[in-house]
């Protein structure tokens, strides 16, 4: 089976490049599957990652993306086209963003099977928090774009509430719920010897400046230090693209010696960073989808403290994560939530093991297995539909027999390729895809 993955891809630092990398890394481990990444353009002089077949055929905020992407697909001729997609993946201006969302439907019209992993819904994003200047225009465009997007062969969302919204509001499309996954092939057992040795580290990790903000986090940390001096706050990550300079401004105002700004974290440094953290804090004012930071915390068995917002509750209810909630916008409530965990070793251990257990249930190989199974099924259905349409052609039509033989031959080839991939996946077992070596990505969640 030939798959094209359409995604921002390292060393690009555009949104969702990390998730695209981990999808590609796991797909590379499936024997019988050929992967080509259709990635975003890179600056001159930047080298590609080794061991990946990448075609750079689209650019952020470019109006020519649909035509460039279609040209690349006609060269590769894949059996499935997989879009790793958010509402701002192809641009933060209205027209390029709109074209990016409707592109899977446009590509399907050209005869390709298209599948989408949709990370956000317009209905669940706080547009003011996200820094959108024309919220009414974005809501109208988002509704139209989502309706067109649902014409793809399948759309996967990361929370059950998102599927409910799509079904109730749009009443169309093949919509699946897929777990986000841990962004790691093999979750690591928590290393309790590193935590609280010599200090308890609280980790805040992300792209800062829009709905992820640090003012209240710093206020809560000051309150916490008054009751528990043996703590340290690590602020990791970079500015959100719409909030350039935000971290620098916060760092200039911060006088706390126990607060460390460590900036961008390379993939190879992530295990040590998370294993040494006692708690991961998520000081969000709203949410733009299932949290990659929460799933990274699970991969290393780290307790989570998060804002009392609906998407975080979904992670508890649907995925079984251990999260301590605090009142949204309440610094004292956040300080109390952190203190409750830090003072209770048994609670730390219970939450860590619960998150590690959740990670084992949603490792990336398991998530990829589910996607590939859907692609395989859609591939077979498409082949059978082609044969059915050919058989309905009038018998007197010239070359009807030749068209029928060609359709059967194509369907047989598809079935043979699907059989090879399905055999390697061992679809009857819950962990059919072998895990591979850890890779590298070029950005932070």
pLDDT digits over 350-380, tens only? 999 999 998 888 878 878 888 888 887 776 6
Give yes or no: residues 285 and 345 share one domain.
yes
Give yes or no: residues 165 and 259 share one domain.
no
Give yes or no: residues 393 and 263 share one domain.
no
Stretch 8-13: mean pLDDT, rounded? 87
Give yes or no: residues 87 and 221 share one domain.
no
367 in any annotated domain:
no
Give yes or no: residues 301 and 417 share one domain.
no
149 in any annotated domain:
yes
Residue after which a domain boundary falls, among 144, 177, 210? 177
Predicted model pTM: 0.74
Identify the domain containing residue 236 by its residue range.
192-361
* First-residue to last-residue Cα distance in the chain: 30
Residue 434 has pLDDT above 60, yes or no: no
List C-alpha distances in Å: 105 to 97, 100, 216, 260, 407: 14, 10, 42, 46, 23
Q: What is the pLDDT of residue 399?
A: 63
With a pLDDT cut of 70, the percent of the chain lying above it is 81
Stretch 256-268: mean pLDDT, rounded? 86
Give yes or no: residues 217 and 315 share one domain.
yes
Q: What is the pLDDT of residue 391?
A: 60
Tokens of 170: 């749009």
379 in any annotated domain:
no
Give yes or no: residues 265 and 135 share one domain.
no
Stretch 98-108: mean pLDDT, rounded? 93
Give yes or no: residues 226 and 172 share one domain.
no
Q: What is the pLDDT of residue 130?
A: 57
With a pLDDT cut of 90, the percent of the chain lying above it is 42
Stretch 158-168: mean pLDDT, rounded? 89
Q: What is the pLDDT of residue 426?
A: 44
Stretch 134-144: mean pLDDT, rounded? 79
Residue 14 has pLDDT above 60, yes or no: yes
Give yes or no: residues 15 and 139 share one domain.
yes
320 in any annotated domain:
yes
Residue 275 has pLDDT above 80, yes or no: yes
Give yes or no: residues 344 and 390 share one domain.
no
pLDDT digits (tens, 9 = 90+) for 218-227: 999 999 999 9
343 in any annotated domain:
yes
Q: Confidence class of residue 420 from pLDDT cuts 50, 70 and 90?
A: very low
Residue 431 has pLDDT above 60, yes or no: no
Q: How far is CA 180 from the centre of its chain?
A: 6
437 in any annotated domain:
no
Residue after which a domain boundary falls, among 318, 345, 361? 361
400 in any annotated domain:
yes
Stretch 235-245: mean pLDDT, rounded? 85
């Amino acid at each position: 089976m030939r798959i094209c993955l359409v995604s921002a891809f390292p060393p690009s630092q555009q949104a969702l490049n990390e998730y695209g990398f981990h999808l590609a890394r796991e797909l590379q481990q499936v024997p019988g599957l050929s992967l080509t990444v259709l990635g975003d353009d890179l600056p001159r002089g930047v080298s590609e990652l080794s061991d990946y077949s990448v075609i750079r055929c689209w650019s952020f905020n470019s109006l020519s993306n649909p035509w460039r992407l279609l040209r690349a697909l006609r060269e590769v001729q894949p059996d499935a086209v997989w879009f790793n997609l958010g509402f701002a993946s192809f641009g933060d201006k209205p027209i390029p963003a709109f074209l990016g969302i409707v592109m899977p439907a446009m590509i399907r019209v050209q005869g390709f099977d298209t599948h989408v992993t949709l990370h956000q819904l317009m209905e669940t994003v706080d547009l003011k928090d996200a820094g959108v200047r024309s919220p009414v225009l974005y809501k109208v465009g988002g509704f139209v774009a989502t309706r067109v997007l649902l014409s793809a062969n399948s759309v996967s969302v990361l929370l059950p509430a998102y599927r409910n919204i799509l079904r109730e509001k749009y009443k169309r499309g093949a919509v699946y719920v897929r777990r986000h996954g841990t962004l790691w092939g093999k979750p690591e057992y928590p290393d309790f010897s590193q935590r609280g040795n010599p200090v308890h580290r609280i980790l805040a990790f992300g792209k800062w400046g829009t709905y992820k903000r640090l003012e209240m986090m710093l206020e809560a940390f000051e309150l916490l230090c008054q009751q528990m001096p043996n703590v340290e706050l690590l602020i990791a990550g970079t500015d959100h693209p719409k909030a350039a300079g935000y971290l620098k401004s916060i760092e200039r105002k911060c006088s706390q010696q126990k607060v460390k700004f460590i900036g961008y974290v390379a993939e190879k440094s992530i295990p040590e960073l998370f294993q040494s953290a006692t708690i991961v804090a998520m000081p969000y004012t709203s949410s733009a989808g299932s949290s990659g930071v929460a799933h990274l915390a699970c991969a290393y068995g780290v307790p989570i403290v998060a804002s009392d917002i609906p998407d975080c509750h979904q992670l508890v209810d649907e995925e079984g994560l251990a999260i301590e909630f605090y009142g949204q916008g309440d610094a004292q409530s956040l300080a109390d939530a952190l203190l409750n965990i830090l003072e209770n070793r048994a609670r730390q251990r219970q939450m860590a093991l619960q998150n590690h257990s959740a990670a084992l249930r949603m490792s990336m190989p398991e998530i990829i297995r589910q996607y590939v199974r859907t692609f395989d099924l859609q591939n077979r259905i498409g082949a059978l539909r082609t044969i059915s349409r050919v058989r309905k052609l009038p018998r007197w039509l010239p070359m009807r027999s030749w068209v029928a033989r060609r359709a059967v031959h194509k369907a047989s080839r598809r079935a043979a390729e699907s059989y090879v991939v399905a055999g390697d996946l061992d679809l009857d077992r819950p962990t059919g895809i072998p895990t591979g070596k850890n890779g590298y990505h070029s950005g932070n969640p």
